[in-house]
Structures are given as C-alpha cells and as structure tokens.
C-alpha cells in the first residue's frame, strides 16, 4: 500500500483483574499484539465476538484507553508520544462514533451545542459562524437545521445516530472509528445510516475503522476486513476474498454461523463447541485450537504468526493456505 | 390444516401513558399449529413482544390493558381464566424464553434450584426425582457436568449457558407451546447458531409448537415454517417462509427484504431505504398506517384501512396494492 493514514504496530493492552493480599494479580489480555494499516479514504472492518478486544482496540487507537505497548502512527506521528495539547490537536482528525448515541450525548445539551462543541473548544469557530456550521452539519447528516435547539431525548435512535455522526464530522476528520454504529437500530433505519456513512466517505474522503459483530453489514461496507479472536487478529483480507476464500478456521465458523436470509438455502454450518476461552488464561499455542475443527498436534504447542498466505491476505493459522 | 394448538384472534392491548392511550397491539390474529415454528417479525415498537406477553397475560395491568380479543388454547380462552387457573398453564403447558437470560434468572438462587421450582409447582415428583430430572434437563440442553452446574449461580455462567438454563426451565414440564422472545438477540453469532440448533432439535423431540419473536430476517429464514410480519401493532402479511422470502406481497415486507445488506445490491452500493419512521400509535393516521412510507400508496390508502385478506391457502396480506406480479402460478386471489 502506498499511502498510510494510520498504522498500528504491536499494540497491547492488558487490564488487571483480581489481586489482593493473597491472590495474585492477573490480566485480561484484551489486545495482545495487533498490527493494522489503514489507507486514506479506506474502510477497514474489524469483526469478532463479544470480548475479542475490538472495541478496546478502537479506543486504544484514539488513546481513550492508554495502550501498554506498541506504536500508533496517525498522519505521520506516533500518538503515544504526544503531550496533552498535541494529542488534543491530533484528535481533531480522528473521531469516534458509538453504538448507543443516547448514552454518548449529554442529555442537558441541545444537539446544536453538542455538534458545535468540537469547533468551539478548539477555538475554530464562534458566534454566527459556529451556528452556520452546525446548521450545515445537520443538513449533511439529513436532519433539519431548525432542530439545533432540541434535546437528545426528542429524537429517535436513528436520528440520534445522525447527531453522533454530525458531531464526529464537525472537525473535518480524516479517520472515523465507528464502533457498532448500527447495532442498536432496526433494519430499515440501519440501511439509512449505512447509506449516510457511504455517502460521507465519498464526499469527504474519510477513512473508517468499522467495528462490528455483524458480518453481513461489514461485507457490504468494507474494503478490507480484519477478524479478531482473543485480542489478536487471526485473519485480514480484502472483503470479497475473506468471504470467498477464507483462510482461517475461526473465520469459517463465524461466517457459517451467520443466518442466511434465504429459507432452505443454508450452507453447511460449522457449529463451534463451547464458549470463547477466558482472555485471562488464553490457551497455549494457537488460541483457537480447543474449538478448532481442523486442529492438529502442533496447534496446541506452537503459536501461529500472522503471515501472508495470498496477495494482501493474512492468516494466523498453521494450516493456511487450505 | 389441523386445528391450531394456539390461536390469537383480534387481540388488542393498550397502554395508558401521560400522552394518551397507546394501542401497542391493535387487532392481531395468529394461529400456531403443533410442531411448527411461527416467526413473528417486525421492527422495534411493532407490538411483537406485547403480543407474546399478552398471550400469557404477563403484562402489568395497569398500565397495560388487554381490551379485546381471545387467546384460545386447549379449548379455553386464556384471557378469561382466573389467575390461579392461568398459573397452571404458564410454565407447564405454555412456556416462555426471553431475550436477556440474566434479567430473567434470579441472581440469589442456584440455577438448579430455579429449574427445580418449576417442577415443584407443576409436577408430583419427589425431591430426589426432581433432582434427577433437573440434571437430565441440563444434559438435554447441552450443559456439561450437570451435577456441578446445578449449584452454580447465574453470574457464574456465560450468556449462552444462561440461555440454555432458561430453555431447560421452559422445557421442564414438556410444554405444548414455547414462546421465545428474541432468544438469541443478546448472543454472539456462533453461540446463536448453537442455541437455534438446540431449539430445533428439542422441538422435534417434544413436538412442540414454537412462537419465535425476532427482528432478524436471517433467523426467520433459518427457523420458520410460517411467518407473520407485524407493523404498527397489526399483522400486515402472513405466509409460509418460502412465500415471504420468495414473493413478498406487502410493500413493507418487500422494503424490509431489500433493506438487508447483501441481498439485492452490490458491494458498497446504496441500500434500499424505507423512508420516514413508524407513525405515533397514539394518533394513528386515517387509512393504512404504512401509507406515508409506502411507494405504492394512493388516495384509497388514505381513506380505507386495508383488512388482512386471505390469499391462497396459507397466506394473507393487508394491502390495497400488494405486489401481485411475483404471485406463484395456480393460486386463487
């Protein structure tokens, strides 16, 4: 890839759990050595099940949670080395939208104030210019400019997500981390928001890190997709290739578990046994081996590295390519 | 077709709110036959959960009030039974599984004792007999080491395991009807696949009728025999799963199908959108409640509310201008 907007190298985040006078302190390995690259204007999907570390990774990139190790190079600068003021400036170009827009909007702030907050605190706009910008942003996300004086509770879920998007757009970001932005919305509303995200990307050339558990949505929206399991990336490939030429048994199982909206048209399903193992004591060797239908002897001993198995197609499986 | 095990006719459930009376369910008819799965599908606020809760009268009254209709099960109208009579049916003949198992399990009792409670109320088994039955049920729903899990508390189990416990509890008295309200919505896809597979195998084994409530059309396609699509508190279309997915007739059903990513549009192409939002049910517009979002609406739709009319042997649609082109050949109108 020629141009790089964001590059994440060996990022690790462990959360301490337990520990007391007698018990030893242990760690949840939420993000355990992740490498990623996002090009300008690209959409990279990040999928995985609950607890795989995908949301933590999104937050670590913006330093909403501090990483324990690794480099996060955004627009040429390592974010982890920036001071407070510099970091605040860097964040102007990297924004985040959340799953539940209701929980992320201040209920006592009008949506106009919420959307204008970014430009205001950065000292970019004030007074009438700020009001005009807010009106423009509301229109951009498909809301009426005269709604600026209303409060979050006066809006539906889909409209609140539009407010969240307008707020993220206010500082003209080059990267938006979208953490499950349509997961709490109904299908018809979900389609509206996905169309809006696609349209904004086309107009402003924004790159997305699209975090989701919904493989159908990710397949539709993303250029490339990374699959996470127990804090690590196990497969990364161009969207179509990930779905057609899967090179990791976990991705295979995940894809086959998605219900197909065609009656009688279901593929052969791989039903995984058991639950995801504890991220406090991940299994030895390949973290997926206890649930893997293809596992061999060495999978429980040797940890597979994420390596190239095709053009731009990475897999962390000893057996790939299949 | 055989006599239905459960039939809901003209159900109307309202809620009194500060801003007026809200008819969440407004004239719903459903029929559920032995051994089949009927999926009730619709978006938030369409009345699908309220329908399910009304069947067993599990809604707090007030604010809820079941104003009209009947729910016929085993020859009697559940809506006319006394609380004591209804309690004999709830959990034994008709059981229910909810979306979030953590909120439906009691955190201060072990899961074994909670399954035991249902058996204590509805059966004459001895203490020892019940203990054996609980362990048998836990094994049946795929929980390993049931004797040890019996003593576990809900917080010690994962989401998937908790939902298995809920299913074990629901099946404890071998019900004729299982109502499952979004049973896999809170679970990850791989766990969802496990639970759906479990439900299907148990349904076959006990020949249960399942009323499955979901918003996920993928889940509908994989589990349903028949489908009822709800919109704004009413059934707008019913049919076999093949009809609903293959030749949907109501513009709302058609819109829902098209709004799903990956069905009809290319990679990164704009998805089909149903414009607007669901109308406020407190102030239902004249005529068809879908007309303001409908591409086919005309003057008739503004004047007359369409009735749910039978179409062929097993389907029905409530629309003045249904899609008829895709109608399977050889079927009467």
Residue A265 is given by DSSP the state -
β-bridge partners, B309: B317
Q: How confident is the model at residue A158 (pLDDT cuts 50, 70, 90)?
A: confident
Size of interface A-B (CB pairs under 8 A): 120
pLDDT tens digits for range B224-251: 999 999 999 999 999 999 999 988 999 9
Three-state secondary structure readout of B310-321: EECCCEEECCCC
Query: Residue for token digits 């293809």?
Result: A294
Q: Which of residues 194-233 of A touch B (CB under 8 A)?
A: 194-195, 198-199, 213, 215-217, 219-221
**Domain assignment of residue A295, yes or no:** yes
Number of domains forming the structure of chain A: 1
Virtual CA dihedral for A179, A183, A189, A191, nearest 10 degrees? 70
β-bridge partners, A27: A16
Give the Cα-Cα-Cα angle B135, B137, B139 (nearest 5 degrees): 70
**Domain assignment of residue A151, yes or no:** no
Query: Residue for token digits 């210019």?
Result: A129
Question: B-side interface with A, Cβ within 8 Å?
Answer: 43-44, 158-161, 188-194, 196-197, 215-222, 224, 241-242, 245-246, 255-257, 259-263, 265, 267-268, 270-274, 277
Q: How confident is the model at residue B283 (pLDDT cuts 50, 70, 90)?
A: confident
Chain B residues touching residue A188 (CB < 8 angstroms): 43, 255-256, 259, 273-274
Are the C-beta atoms of B324 and B247 separated by less than 8 Å?
Answer: no
Dihedral sign for Cα A35, A39, A40, A46, please: negative
Angle between helices B189-206 and A249-257 (to 10 degrees): 50
Residue A10: is its pLDDT beyond 50? yes
- Is the CB of A187 less than 8 angstroms away from the CB of B217? yes
Assigned token pair, B219: 């889940």
Residue B279 is given by DSSP the state P
Query: Which of A220, A261, A264 lies nearest to residue B217, judging by beta carbons?
Result: A261
The H or E element that residue A269 is part of is: none
Residue B328: is its pLDDT beyond 50? no
pLDDT tens digits for range A30-81: 999 999 999 999 999 999 988 889 999 999 999 999 999 999 999 999 999 9
Cis bond before residue A12 (omega within 30° of 0): no
A136 vs B: CB within 8 A: no
Q: Determine the residue among B261, B266, B290 to mutate to test chain A binding: the one whose Cβ has the most chain A Cβ atoms within 10 Å.
A: B261
A49 vs B: CB within 8 A: yes
Tally Cβ neighbours within 10 Å of residue B209: 24
Please give the residue range of the domain that contains residue A245.
Answer: 6-17+27-109+172-315
Chain A residues touching residue B257 (CB < 8 angstroms): 261
CA distance A151 to A105: 9
- Is the CB of B44 less than 8 angstroms away from the CB of A199? no
Nearest to B72 by CA among B89, B87, B59: B89
Cis bond before residue A321 (omega within 30° of 0): yes
β-bridge partners, A211: A46, A179
Q: How confident is the model at residue B329 (pLDDT cuts 50, 70, 90)?
A: very low
Chain A residues touching residue B270 (CB < 8 angstroms): 195, 198-199
Q: Which residues contact A301 (CB under 8 A, 6 or more apart)?
A: A284, A285
Instruction: Give the model's pLDDT for residue A2.
Output: 66
pLDDT tens digits for range B74-83: 889 999 989 8
- Taking all residues of chain B, what is their mean pLDDT, rounded to a whole number? 87
Q: Least CA distance to A291: which residue of chain B?
A: B190
Give the Cα-Cα-Cα angle B216, B222, B223 (nearest 5 degrees): 90
| CATH code of the domain containing A85 | 3.40.50.300
CA distance B162 to A9: 38
Q: Least CA distance to B244: which residue of chain A?
A: A263
Chain B residues touching residue A157 (CB < 8 angstroms): 44
**Domain assignment of residue A132, yes or no:** no
Q: Least CA distance to A201: which residue of chain B?
A: B268
Instruction: Give the model's pLDDT for residue B158.
Output: 81
Mean pLDDT of B36-40: 95
Residue A83 backbone zone (phi > 0: left; psi -120 to 50: alpha; other: beta): beta
**Domain assignment of residue A55, yes or no:** yes
Write the CA distances from B279 to A148, B77, B232, B233, B287, integer angstroms.
Answer: 23, 32, 7, 11, 12
CA distance B111 to B97: 15
Residue B296 is given by DSSP the state T
Chain A residues touching residue B262 (CB < 8 angstroms): 216, 219-220
Strands B94-97, B76-77: pairing is unpaired
Q: Which of residues 281-310 of A touch B (CB under 8 A)?
A: none
φ, ψ (nearest 5 deg) of residue B12: -135, 115
Q: How confident is the model at residue B202 (pLDDT cuts 50, 70, 90)?
A: confident
Nearest to B125 by CA among B174, B161, B164, B86: B174
pLDDT tens digits for range A84-130: 999 988 889 999 998 877 788 899 999 999 999 999 988 888 889 99
- Is the CB of A271 less than 8 angstroms away from the CB of B197? yes
**Domain assignment of residue A65, yes or no:** yes
**Domain assignment of residue A50, yes or no:** yes
pLDDT tens digits for range A206-218: 999 999 988 889 9
Nearest to B8 by CA among B42, B51, B61: B51
Q: Higher pLDDT residue, A117 or B186?
A: A117
Burial label for A8, CB within 10 Å (0-12, 13-18, 19+), is buried
Query: Which of A188, A213, A266 lies nearest to residue B259, judging by beta carbons?
Result: A188
Assigned token pair, B30: 């459903």
pTM, two decimal places: 0.86
- Reading across the β-sheet that carries B94-97, which strands appear in turn? B94-97, B177-181, B209-214, B37-41, B226-231, B234-240, B315-317, B309-311
**Domain assignment of residue A301, yes or no:** yes
Q: Least CA distance to B293: which residue of chain A?
A: A188
Query: Residue for token digits 């099960």?
Result: B73
- Is the CB of A265 less than 8 angstroms away from the CB of B193? no
A23 vs B: CB within 8 A: no
């Amino acid at each position: 890839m020629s141009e790089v907007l964001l590059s994440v190298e060996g990022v690790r985040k462990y959360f301490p759990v337990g520990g007391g006078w007698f018990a030893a302190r242990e760690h949840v390995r939420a993000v355990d050595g992740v490498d990623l690259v996002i090009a300008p204007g690209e959409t990279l999907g990040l999928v995985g099940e609950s607890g795989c570390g995908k949301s933590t990774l999104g937050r670590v990139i913006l330093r909403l949670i501090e990483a324990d190790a690794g480099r996060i190079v955004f627009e040429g600068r390592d974010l982890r080395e920036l001071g407070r003021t510099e970091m605040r400036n860097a964040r102007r170009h990297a924004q985040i939208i959340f799953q539940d827009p209701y929980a992320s909007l201040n209920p006592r702030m009008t949506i106009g104030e919420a959307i204008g907050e970014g430009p205001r605190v950065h000292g970019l706009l004030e007074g009438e210019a700020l009001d005009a910008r807010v009106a423009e942003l509301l229109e951009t996300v498909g809301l009426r400019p005269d709604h600026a004086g209303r409060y979050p509770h006066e809006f539906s879920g889909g409209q609140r997500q539009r407010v969240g998007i307008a707020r993220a757009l206010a500082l003209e970001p080059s990267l938006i981390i979208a953490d499950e932005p349509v997961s709490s919305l109904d299908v018809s509303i979900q389609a509206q928001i996905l169309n809006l995200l696609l349209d904004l990307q086309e107009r402003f050339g924004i790159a997305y890190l699209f975090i989701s558990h919904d493989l159908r949505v990710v397949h539709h929206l993303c250029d490339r997709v990374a699959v996470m399991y127990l804090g690590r990336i196990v497969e990364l490939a161009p969207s179509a290739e990930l779905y057609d030429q899967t090179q990791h048994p976990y991705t295979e199982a995940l894809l086959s578990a998605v219900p197909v909206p065609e009656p009688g048209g279901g593929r052969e399903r791989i039903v995984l046994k058991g639950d995801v193992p504890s991220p406090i004591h991940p299994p030895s060797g390949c973290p997926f081996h206890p649930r893997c239908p293809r596992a061999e002897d060495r999978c429980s001993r040797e940890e597979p590295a994420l390596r190239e198995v095709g053009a731009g197609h990475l897999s962390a499986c000893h057996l790939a390519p299949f | 077709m055989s006599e239905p095990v459960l039939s809901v006719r003209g159900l109307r459930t309202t809620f009194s709110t500060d801003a007026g009376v809200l008819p969440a369910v407004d004239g719903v008819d459903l029929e559920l036959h032995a051994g089949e799965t009927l999926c009730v599908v619709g978006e938030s606020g369409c009345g699908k959960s309220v329908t399910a809760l009304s069947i067993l009268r599990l809604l707090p009254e007030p604010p809820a009030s079941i104003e009209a209709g009947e729910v016929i099960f085993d020859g009697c109208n559940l809506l006319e039974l006394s609380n004591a009579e209804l309690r004999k049916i709830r959990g034994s003949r008709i059981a229910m599984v909810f979306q979030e198992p953590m909120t439906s399990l009691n955190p201060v009792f072990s899961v074994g004792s909670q399954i035991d409670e249902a058996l204590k109320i509805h059966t004459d088994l001895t203490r020892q007999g019940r203990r054996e039955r609980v362990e048998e049920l836990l094994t049946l729903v795929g929980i390993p080491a049931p004797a040890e899990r019996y003593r576990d508390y809900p917080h010690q189990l994962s989401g998937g395991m908790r939902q298995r416990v809920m299913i074990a509890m629901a099946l404890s008295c071998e019900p004729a009807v299982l109502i499952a309200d979004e049973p896999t919505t809170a679970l990850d896809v791989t766990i969802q696949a496990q639970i759906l597979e479990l439900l299907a195998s148990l349904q076959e084994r006990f020949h249960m009728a399942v009323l499955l409530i979901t918003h996920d059309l993928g889940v509908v396609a994989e589990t349903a025999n028949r489908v009822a699509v709800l919109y704004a508190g009413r059934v707008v279309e019913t049919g076999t799963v093949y009809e609903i997915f293959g030749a949907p007739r109501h513009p709302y059903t058609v819109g829902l199908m098209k709004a799903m990513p990956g069905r009809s549009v290319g990679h990164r192409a704009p998805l089909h959108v149903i414009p607007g939002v669901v109308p406020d049910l407190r102030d239902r517009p004249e005529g068809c409640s879908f007309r303001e979002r409908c591409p086919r609406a005309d003057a008739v739709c503004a004047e007359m509310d369409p009735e749910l009319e039978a179409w062929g042997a097993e389907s029905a649609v409530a629309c003045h201008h249904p899609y008829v082109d895709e109608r399977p050949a050889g079927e009467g109108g």
